[in-house]
Structure 1
Amino acid sequence: MSVHRSRGGTILLSALVLDSVGTGMFMPLSLLYFPKLTSVPLELVGVLASVATALTLPIPALAGWLADRVGPVPLVVVAQLAQGIGFFAFGRVHGPVGIFLASALVTTGVRIFWSCVFTAIADYADSSTSTMSKDSWYAWANMTRTGGLGIGGLIATLVMVGGVAYYRVLTDSSAACYVVAAAAIGIFVRAPRGAHEADAVIGFRTMLRDRPFVAFAAINTVFAMSTGMLALGLSVFVADGLHGPSWLAGSVLAGSTILLAVLGAPVIKRAQPYRRTRVLIVAAGLWAAWCLAFSGLVPDQLTWVVPALIVATLLFTAADVMHAPVSMGLATALSPVAARGRYLAVFQYSFVVASTVSPAFFTSLFTLHRSLPWLVLGLLNLAALVGMRMLERIVPAPAQRVAEPEPVQV
């Protein structure tokens, strides 16, 4: 029998950088773009975007099912092409229908991408001659994507100085990034999958009876809320809650992003001797400490609040840099290989639920008191910490290890 090996790992990571540069270039424009370039008002743009997002909620399950049948790499390529076409259309639509269709196409691509990219990375790791664990591959992927988002955001900031006339340049450039990334992955990346006919009967019903996996996906919803809350709430918290300067939130977020972009792989290397569940327990504790520190900050005391804010954000960053690769590593380890696409796609619903709930969670609690969002999120992380400790008892021993052996599939 011949050995089918992966190829194009460097191309895959480079394409993820390019993909995230495209995302980063549009993020600063997301609420400004259509009201500035069309006559459609902001409130209608928000409704159209929300409806487009809601209609794509079933897509992860379908994408996961397809990934188990045709492989995840072709679907990643399709996802990037869909986003590229959608961003190209952004500069050429003028009314509500066009905005809705273009937004739906981009959102569909986003859903497919996140439902399949981790399966593609896991398949690549399985068939690779590299000695890296899947957690290390996920860490490198997270580092490259974070770096790409930062580069894209910087480009957008610089280009936006030129005014509205350059907005279409950004969306067209984003489209080009996605198309080039899709072409690179489609041509150069191979991640062959082994045959697992004995496991082929595994379906969604079987998955939903898988207690360790379902419990972990539920707990990860809290972690997903935590990982997105800094970017979501920091600007409002600093400006309205602490009466801080306008530059403070952006500087803190930039510093956190830089650390996330450079520390992922080194941290995971240090975490290899430890159980995945224990690493996530530590992350939950760090997030709880971050939230407690934020809840204690008060307005108009910038002499000590600014350094305290920075130190607290370091706690968040330490938790995030551990959670991102290890959570995906544990989810992958809990997934049967033949149903990996479905399992990891369903796992992404923890992030979907978190991104749906988080804006209302933050704004409703912040309206009552500046400390409440952080206090409640801190309590949720303590509950998640206890949940992970209980889950540890039923997680199979092979799934616990970060540095699992990775034989090449034959």
Structure 2
Amino acid sequence: MPVDRSRGGVVLLSALVLDSVGNGMFMPLSLNYFQQLTSVPLGLIGVLVSVATALTLPVPVLVGWLADRVGPVPLVVVSQVAQGIGYLEYGQVQGAVGIFLASALVTIGVRFFWSSVFTAIADFADGSASTMSKDSWYAWANMTRTGGLGIGGLITSLAVAGGSDAFYRVLSNSSAACYLVAALAIGAFVRAPRRAHETGEAVGYATMLRDRPFVAFAAINTVFAMSTGMLALGLLVFVKDGLAGPVWLAPVVLAGNTILLAVLGAPVIKRVEPCRRTRVLVAAAGLWAAWCLAFAGLVPKQPGWVIPALIIATLLYTAADVMHAPVSMGLATALSPAAARGRYLAVFQYSFTIASMIAPAFFTTLFELHRSLPWLALGLLNLAALGGMLMLERIVPDSAQRVAEPALV
């Protein structure tokens, strides 16, 4: 009897590009969208969006359970359809209730996506004829999504000068079209066999919480998740208010970082395949710590050396980020029992969710005390995470340490 194989790898990666183009087109406007099209005060808009986001926090638990029951690929499709419909609704919103409902639908779609897409990629890698490791698949997915975000953001930045209501609606409708076409492509052409989920003993969430290596790694990854989001969150404020630097510097540095992330992911992972995953993440933590300490040492009104130093320091961040994104997901996948992969990887996403909730207050509170404090604190956290990874290495099974994996036969 022939072994089922995955199908549609190029379509899957292309659909992820299209998905992230839709995200990238809308992301630069964010809250300004509803401020432009409605008379609802900006403060209330922020509250409505925050409440809608908070109410979706339990969603990953459900999605993980569903991924182990029906498979992750249909859930990725559902996530994109939900976001597509949500963005279509954005253009029809007139008041506070509409803002809440449209935001909730999009956020539910986002939660479905991040709680299922990595399981879908892992399942696809299991059934693929390719010899690429899961880390390499994750690297390619990260590269395509980063490239798509950059393309979408560029489209919006070039077109935003119009600024009319019609432009905003065209933008949200275009984003919706990207999501819906991506959903159609994945639903029609991508297949990922689920043999891994159909064998093995079922593992519930209670058992997962007693899984020491996985829980410890998810906790440590919260620090890494804060690190990976801190550049975009804090760079503009740091350059403008902390260093009294030129306004063009932050966008240029962020654009350069995006380009490097979009092109270096797969080649870097290929280079580190002989290394243990835990050691790759130790290296990433060390690089992030060095980046933070370098930023903490920058001073205002010294552009002659501060600007080059900031750019060089950002390269340390980029090197850490390009290693962390695929290898962290590879390790989380390797620590997950095959029959419960959906639940494990969905719960692992909470490390990123918690980090995104903590990071704004973490940065702003410390920055108000001194420009260097957020970077010093984050650097120390990364040094602690580095030590935590070295301790965790002792209890991580050897089978989970290897980046390179044997091809499925």
Shorter-chain TM-score bucket reads: over 0.9
1:190-339 equivalences in 2 (<5 Å) = 190-194=191-195, 199-339=200-340
Report if aligned partners of 2:139, 2:269 keep a CA contact under 8 Å in 1. Answer: yes
Q: Which residue matches 1:32?
A: 32
- Tell me how far apart the structure 2 counterparts of residues 123 and 213 of structure 1 sit (CA, whole Å): 19
Report if aligned partners of 1:216, 1:391 keep a CA contact under 8 Å in 2. Answer: yes
Report if aligned partners of 2:197, 2:341 keep a CA contact under 8 Å in 1. Answer: no
Amino acid in structure 1 at the alignment position of 2:113 = F
Report if aligned partners of 1:398, 1:404 keep a CA contact under 8 Å in 2. Answer: no
Cα deviation code 1:331-353 (max 9, x no counterpart): 00000111000000000000000
1:171 aligns with 2:156: no
- Tell me how far apart the structure 2 counterparts of residues 132 and 125 of structure 1 sit (CA, whole Å): 8
* Residue 162 (structure 1) shift: 1.2
1:402 aligns with 2:407: no
Query: RMSD value over aligned CA atoms?
Result: 0.8
Q: Spell out structure 1 runs of 4+ moving beyond 6 A.
A: none
1:156 aligns with 2:153: no
Please give the TM-score of this superposition, normalised by the length of structure 1.
Answer: 0.99
- Tell me how far apart the structure 2 counterparts of residues 198 and 134 of structure 1 sit (CA, whole Å): 20
* Residue 197 (structure 1) shift: 5.5
- Tell me how far apart the structure 2 counterparts of residues 74 and 406 of structure 1 sit (CA, whole Å): 25
- Aligned CA distance change for structure 1 residues 195 and 160 (closer, same or farther; 3 Å): closer
Cα deviation code 1:91-145 (max 9, x no counterpart): 1111000000000000000000000000000000000110000000000000000
Residue 65 of structure 1 aligns to a residue in which SS? helix
- Tell me how far apart the structure 2 counterparts of residues 117 and 198 of structure 1 sit (CA, whole Å): 21
Q: Which runs of 5+ in 2 are unaligned?
A: none
- Aligned CA distance change for structure 1 residues 180 and 198 (closer, same or farther; 3 Å): closer
Please give the TM-score of this superposition, normalised by the length of structure 2.
Answer: 0.99
* Residue 375 (structure 1) shift: 0.2
How many residues are paired up? 408
Is 110-119 or 399-408 further displaced after alignment?
399-408
- Tell me how far apart the structure 2 counterparts of residues 274 and 195 of structure 1 sit (CA, whole Å): 25
The percent of aligned pairs where both chains have the same amino acid is 79
Amino acid in structure 1 at the alignment position of 2:359 = S
Report if aligned partners of 1:125, 1:406 keep a CA contact under 8 Å in 2. Answer: no
Cα deviation code 1:362-407 (max 9, x no counterpart): 0000010000000000000000000000000000001000001131
Report if aligned partners of 2:133, 2:403 keep a CA contact under 8 Å in 1. Answer: yes
- Aligned CA distance change for structure 1 residues 152 and 198 (closer, same or farther; 3 Å): closer
1:349 aligns with 2:350: yes
1:15-164 equivalences in 2 (<5 Å) = 15-164=15-164
Report if aligned partners of 1:37, 1:164 keep a CA contact under 8 Å in 2. Answer: no
Residue 195 of structure 2 aligns to a residue in which SS? coil
Q: Which runs of 5+ in 1 are unaligned?
A: none
* Residue 168 (structure 1) shift: 1.0
Amino acid in structure 2 at the alignment position of 1:167 = Y
* Residue 200 (structure 1) shift: 3.4
Report if aligned partners of 1:281, 1:385 keep a CA contact under 8 Å in 2. Answer: yes
Report if aligned partners of 2:35, 2:41 keep a CA contact under 8 Å in 1. Answer: yes
- Aligned CA distance change for structure 1 residues 340 and 241 (closer, same or farther; 3 Å): same
Residue 199 of structure 1 aligns to a residue in which SS? coil
Q: Which residue matches 2:12?
A: 12
Report if aligned partners of 1:280, 1:326 keep a CA contact under 8 Å in 2. Answer: yes
- Tell me how far apart the structure 2 counterparts of residues 164 and 280 of structure 1 sit (CA, whole Å): 46
Cα deviation code 1:237-270 (max 9, x no counterpart): 0000001111100000000000000000000000
Cα deviation code 1:163-210 (max 9, x no counterpart): 133111111000000000000000000001105556333110111110
